[in-house]
């Protein structure tokens, strides 16, 4: 059974801090990794995709991938209250994505 | 533009009703998906269409019937649903089939079965 694990949280950070969200996966053959943001009552929104080991930066977001450790993370710099949401890690498995259960982030002003 | 549209936004139906959910994308994407999401749970894959053909059916009950009339449209026909089928139904699309391609979600249809 292929699994994606995330700490459900809530993860609470003050405004302006760095939020670090983590995800581990079981399928060593996975090649694609995605982070989605989901506000309460809304649909998931793709934030980042990463396919190679290392870091990928997009604005305040940095995705980090370590395939040897089967670990992918999302860093949010200068966190804002508008970043408060559930963050879903998704890992490619064959023809489909396997989603983690999500980490709830709360940014306090 | 990465827009996927879904109608209706909300739907309330009785257990004997027949209704349809609609999804549309004009990005030229060749794969389209239906997901079901219950509160505080991740999306669960229901169906995958690749190049307008059904490629994955995740053992979904027959009261859910997908249809892909053309490369831009995806429907989900609903019949004789149960209250436990109440959920957010999400449509997504990707440039190509397979898990290497980014999936973009529509806003979803909030379904309540009474």
Would you write out chain B's pLDDT as a tens digit for each of its 114 residues?
A: 669 999 999 999 999 999 999 999 999 999 999 999 999 999 999 999 999 999 988 889 999 999 999 999 999 999 999 999 999 999 999 999 988 999 999 999 999 999
Q: How far is CA A58 from the centre of its chain?
A: 13
A97 touches chain B (CB under 8 A): yes
Distance of residue A14 Cα from the nearest chain B Cα, in angstroms: 24
Contact B58, B45 (CB under 8 A): yes
Name the nearest CA neighbour of A99 among B110, B71, B90, B97.
B90
Q: Which two tokens stand for residue A56?
A: 């990928």
Per-residue pLDDT tens digits for A22-52:
999 999 999 999 999 999 999 999 999 999 9
Beta bridge partners of A31: none
Whole-number Å distance between alpha carbons of B23 and B108:
9
A32 touches chain B (CB under 8 A): yes
> Which residues of B fall within a CB distance of 8 Å from A63?
none
> Which residues of B fall within a CB distance of 8 Å from A95?
48, 50, 55-56, 97-99
Contact A6, A21 (CB under 8 A): yes
Q: Report the DSSP pairing between strands A96-99 and A85-93.
A: antiparallel
Contact B87, B111 (CB under 8 A): yes
Q: How many residues are recorded in chain A? A: 109
Q: How far is CA A81 from the centre of its chain?
A: 17
Report the pLDDT value the prediction gives residue B58, as an integer from 0 to 100: 87
DSSP of B75-93, one letter per residue?
EEEEES--GGG-EEEEEEE
A87 touches chain B (CB under 8 A): no
CB neighbour burial string for B15-54, b if at least 16 within 10 angstroms, e if fewer: eeeebebbbbbeeebbbbbbbbbeeeebbebbbbbbeeee
> Which residues of A fall within a CB distance of 8 Å from B55?
95
Per-residue pLDDT tens digits for A51-71:
999 999 999 999 999 999 999
Beta bridge partners of A103: A87
A105 touches chain B (CB under 8 A): no
Omega before A19 within 30 of 0, i.e. cis = no
- Cα–Cα distance list, B92 to A12, A80, A98, A101 (Å): 30, 28, 14, 18
């Amino acid at each position: 059974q292929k699994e994606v694990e995330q700490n459900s949280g809530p993860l609470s950070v003050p405004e302006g801090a760095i939020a670090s969200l983590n995800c581990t996966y079981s399928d060593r053959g996975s090649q694609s990794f995605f982070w989605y943001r989901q506000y309460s009552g809304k649909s998931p929104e793709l934030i980042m995709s990463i396919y190679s080991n290392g870091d990928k930066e997009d604005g305040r977001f940095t995705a980090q991938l370590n395939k040897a450790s089967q670990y992918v993370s999302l860093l949010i710099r200068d966190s804002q209250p508008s970043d408060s949401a559930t963050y879903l890690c998704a890992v490619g498995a064959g023809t489909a994505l396997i989603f983690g259960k999500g980490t709830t982030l709360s940014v306090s002003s | 533009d990465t827009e996927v549209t879904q109608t209706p936004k909300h739907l309330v139906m009785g257990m004997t009703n027949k209704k349809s959910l609609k999804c549309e994308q004009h990005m030229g994407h060749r794969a389209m998906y239906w997901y079901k999401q219950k509160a505080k749970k991740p999306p669960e894959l229901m169906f995958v269409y690749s190049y307008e053909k059904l490629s994955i059916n995740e053992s979904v009950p027959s009261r859910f019937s997908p249809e892909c009339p053309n490369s831009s449209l995806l429907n989900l026909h609903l019949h004789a649903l149960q209250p436990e089928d109440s959920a957010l139904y999400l449509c997504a699309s990707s440039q190509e089939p397979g898990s290497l391609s980014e999936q973009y979600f529509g806003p979803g249809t909030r379904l309540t079965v009474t």
